[in-house]
Chains A and B, each alone.
Chain A
Amino acid sequence: MSTTDDIRWLTALTAGEMTLANAYDRAVKTAGEWQASDAVITLLKMLAGHERLHAEALQQAGAPLAAPGSGVLPDNTYASLQGFADAITALERIMAQAYVQAAAVLSSPSLAEAAALAGAAEAEHEALLKIELAGASPSGAKIEPITIEQLESRLRALGWTG
């Protein structure tokens, strides 16, 4: 794996993190319309903060800035709390899967460990969203990895222009 490949991973992961952060920010603003509980709003704010820190850390590690305006979920995602929960839980899962593959292929142990630490946080986010917003417990003995091509394809479907 070359540094060029590392940058490709870090770039796509940053785009995913920015998409998550933007989505949580908008969800916090929309929470009143959904009549979301204080506990849900607190959770959304915490998750927004985590994603921004992940994106900042990726950029500090060498990822380029995400393109402005990219990484925004479609308006209809916010039509209901349930619709938002479904979309954001799926995206958290994709990111957890991507970080697992990144841990396997990034060119150094330190990058691999950093990816594993961020990926575990995404898996935990997914678990909390499922249990708090859908009343369901996540299960599965391991997070299945996805390739860089799969990650980029999912992000482009969400409007990423990278």
Chain B
Amino acid sequence: MLSRRDFIRWSAGVGLLAAASLETACGLATATAQPQDGEILNRILGLEDLLSDFWKRSLPALRSATDASGLVKVFQAEDLSHIDLLEASLTQLGVARTERRSFDYPEGTFDTPSATLRQAVQLATLSSGAYLAAAGRLRAGSLRGLCAAIGSVEGRHRVLLRRLGGSIPVMDAAFETAGNLDTVGDAVKVFYRYA
């Protein structure tokens, strides 16, 4: 179902077209990238680093679940491509890449395929939400498009993982949900390994 919040986002009061005119008039729809674009991309890159590590660690746990391990290999390759795309965008912006971290996971995460899939759904939800929120926050249209393009793939990961985990309904709304870019960094830090 379309959530009330999403519907309001689309249709709020005077309509998005009127809001768009106002945003454009206020200079919010700038076509060129701004310094804060690099910061947003780096937050998402930190999340992609986590996902990339998680897929690598999850494969042994999913060995007995053929469908899941096949999909995870695809997701792993796709997320590595996303890292390449984000790094290339940061290079174009002249912004340094965020530091690569090592990660740890809650006890039991890789004990069973179902536990691994539960964590995978949470991370995929975080990822799709971050990209789709970025599509509304970035200043450069090209970067908004890039994040929409990748966020759609992350949403696909989320739905296919939910299906594997037996979630009903497999899609819980007519629209994907944007995440909170201000808290995504903290969500990733939860998994940091501190030597």
The chain A residues found within 8 Å of chain B, CB to CB, are: 1, 3, 6-7, 10, 46, 49-50, 53-54, 56-58, 60-62, 96, 99-101, 103-128, 131, 137-145
Interface residues of B (CB under 8 A from A): 1-2, 6-7, 9-11, 15-21, 23-24, 28-29, 70-71, 74, 77-78, 81-82, 85, 128, 131-133, 135-138, 141-142, 144-156, 158-160, 163, 169-171, 173-178
Identity of the chain A residue whose Cβ is nearest the Cβ of B145 in the assembled complex: A104
Question: Which of chain B's residues have a CB closer than 8 A to the CB of A115?
Answer: 135, 148
Bound form: Cα–Cα A60–B13 in Å: 9
Q: What would 16 more interface pairs be, CB under 8 Å, given A10-B17, A139-B74, A142-B149?
A: A1-B29, A7-B17, A53-B2, A61-B15, A62-B15, A96-B152, A105-B141, A108-B16, A112-B144, A113-B133, A115-B148, A117-B6, A117-B178, A118-B175, A123-B155, A142-B82
The distance in angstroms between the C-alpha atoms of A99 and B17, with both chains bound, is 16
Q: Which residues from B are CB-within-8-Å of A140?
A: 78, 153
State in angstroms the CA–CA spacing of A53 and B24 once bound together.
27
Select A109's contact among B23, B77, B128, beta carbons within 8 Å: B23
For the complex of A and B, 7 pairs with smallest distance between CB atoms: A113-B136, A104-B145, A60-B11, A141-B81, A108-B20, A62-B17, A103-B148
**Distance to closest chain B CB from A36 (angstroms):** 17
Describe B's contact surface by its main secondary structure: helix
A128 touches B163 (CB 8 A): yes
Decide: A141 and B82 in contact? CB cutoff 8 A: yes
Q: Please name all residues of chain A whose beta carbon is closer than 8 Å to the beta carbon of B24 when the two chains form the complex.
A: 107-108
| Residue contact A124 to B176, C-beta cutoff 8 Å | yes
